[in-house]
Amino acid sequence: MHEMSLMEGVLQLIEDAARLEKFSRVTTVWLEIGQLAGVEAEAMRFCFEAATRGSVAEGARLEILAIPGSAWCAQCSAAVAMSETPAACPQCGTYQLRVTGGTEMRVKELEVG
């Protein structure tokens, strides 16, 4: 399950921020996950609980914000929504789409106490 290694990376970012900003407790973590990132939100929730035990984020609430997928069609120059890859352009039907968004995952915000 690659979500556990992703969550361990998220926890490392949180702990680095705690040292830098000098806070000792995180109450809420907002995590943005792109629709095309290949990350299961429910698996991330499970991994969050396991990974944060004994850390500054233990007991914190995890809020996952879904980022929609988007692409640009090289054939018809349309900017289109995209929910999976590969996909056909809804405008012209070709498969010449270049993903422009929805592949990212980032810690958007932390609420600390």
Q: How confident is the model at residue 113 (pLDDT cuts 50, 70, 90)?
A: confident
CB 32 within 8 A of CB 108: yes
Q: Quote the pTM value.
A: 0.87
Which CATH number applies to 2-68+102-112?
3.30.2320.50
Question: What residues pair up with 29 in beta bridges, in sequence order?
Answer: 62, 110
pLDDT at 1: 57
What mean pLDDT comes out for the span 2-6?
A: 94
- Asked whether residue 19 carries a pLDDT value surpassing 60, the answer given is yes
The domains of the chain are located at 2-68+102-112
pLDDT tens for each residue of 70-104: 999 999 999 999 999 999 999 999 999 999 999 99
Other Cβ atoms less than 10 A from the Cβ of 14: the count is 21
CB 65 within 8 A of CB 32: yes
